[in-house]
Amino acid sequence: MELIDGNRIAAAIIAELTAEVAALPGRKPCLALVRVGEDPASVSYVRKKETTAAAIGVTGRVILPPVNITQAGLEAIVDELNADPAVDGILVQSPLPKHLDELAIFRRIAPPKDVDGLGTVNLGKVAQEDATGFVSCTPAGIMELLARSGVDLNGRHVVVLGRSLLVGKPVALLALQKKAGANGTVTICHSGTRDLATLTRLADVLIAAIGRPEFVTADMVKPGAVVIDVGINRVADATNKKGYRLTGDVHFPSVAPLCAKITPVPGGVGPMTVAMLMKNTVKARRLGAG
């Protein structure tokens, strides 16, 4: 079994981007990070994005609207950032408080600044295999992890567990694209899927993105498969000083010995998501939307 080291691969991408930003003429790329409320996971994700941006030479602009901001208020912030020529990329951290329409906010971000890739135009470009768009960061990170780990999906059966707009659907479309590294045969499973384990056992490459701690067990995995664990779940743990530990959607201790390759949690897909956000922001600057 080979561990796919997301920290190492993300660090390589960050180093490449740092050199690219240093060589860019004119002002540095600018990423606006909008976080509404104090959801602890969102606080930590936005902080990580901010510090990574700073390390690369990308200017981070953090905007913290109050948790009771209205839909119109948040839309006005997005409109202002859309119109600001000094801003290249905009990310509105998900999840938003329940009273806000998250999808409407994602759609409102101008497509050339939609570096999180969750708006209609950029998701459409994934379906159209149009490389001028921004691929959302977690699915893009998964594809990059596979490519840089020498996993070619061509002709292989890829089973995606989960059909969210954030991960499952776009990663399935990417794996399906008719291009080098992709060209997989894709099955998508969700909560309505019957005989789930029968399908997951057919996977040459299994991508688990369901948000259920340690859901995928050894009996669900074909020996020799490549397993990508996207899940980030907080599980109560009194022995940990934070009171919780992070676990993936895969039961790592039983599944890892079976696999050809597997990502750990933490240290697998997570760091790649941040690296791909930076890559998209640098791309936005190069394309000159700001």
- DSSP-H helix ranges across 69-167: 71-83, 102-108, 120-127, 137-148
Determine if 231 is a binding residue for ligand NAP (CB under 6 A): yes
Determine if 273 is a binding residue for ligand NAP (CB under 6 A): yes
Determine if 135 is a binding residue for ligand NAP (CB under 6 A): no
Instruction: Report DSSP letters for 54-96, one per residue.
Output: HHHTPEEEEE---TT--HHHHHHHHHHHHH-TT--EEEEPSSP
Determine if 93 is a binding residue for ligand NAP (CB under 6 A): no
43 φ, ψ (degrees, to nearest 5): -60, -45
Residue from 98, 178, 191, 238 binding ligand NAP (CB under 6 A): 191
Give the tokens for residue 178. Answer: 């008719």
**Residues forming a β-bridge with 3:** 262
Determine if 290 is a binding residue for ligand NAP (CB under 6 A): no
Q: Provide the CB-side half-sphere exposure for 85 (13 A, CA).
A: 1
Work out how close the CB of 187 gets to ligand NAP at its nearest, in angstroms, rounded to a whole number. 12
Determine if 212 is a binding residue for ligand NAP (CB under 6 A): yes
The single-letter code of the amino acid at 229 is D
By beta-carbon proximity to ligand NAP, the closer residue of 178 and 194 is 194
Q: Quick one: which segment of 78-86, 174-182, 208-216, 220-228 binds ligand NAP (CB under 6 A)?
A: 208-216
Footprint (CB under 6 A) of ligand NAP, residues 137-156: 138
Q: Quick one: which segment of 64-72, 73-81, 207-215, 220-228 binds ligand NAP (CB under 6 A)?
A: 207-215
Angle of the 137-148 helix axis to the 6-23 helix axis, nearest 10:
110
Residue 185, classed as helix, strand or coil, is strand
Determine if 270 is a binding residue for ligand NAP (CB under 6 A): yes
Task: Give the span between the Cα atoms of 32 and 43, in whole angstroms.
Answer: 15
Contact 229, 263 (CB under 8 A): yes
Q: Quick one: which segment of 75-83, 99-107, 190-198, 238-246 binds ligand NAP (CB under 6 A)?
A: 190-198
Residue from 167, 172, 226, 255 binding ligand NAP (CB under 6 A): 167
Work out how close the CB of 247 gets to ligand NAP at its nearest, in angstroms, rounded to a whole number. 9
Look at residues 109, 47, 42 and name the one whose alpha carbon lies nearest to residue 74. 109
By beta-carbon proximity to ligand NAP, the closer residue of 176 and 272 is 272
Determine if 267 is a binding residue for ligand NAP (CB under 6 A): no
Task: Point out which residues bind ligand NAP (CB under 6 A).
Answer: 138, 161-164, 166-168, 189-193, 196, 209-212, 230-233, 269-270, 273
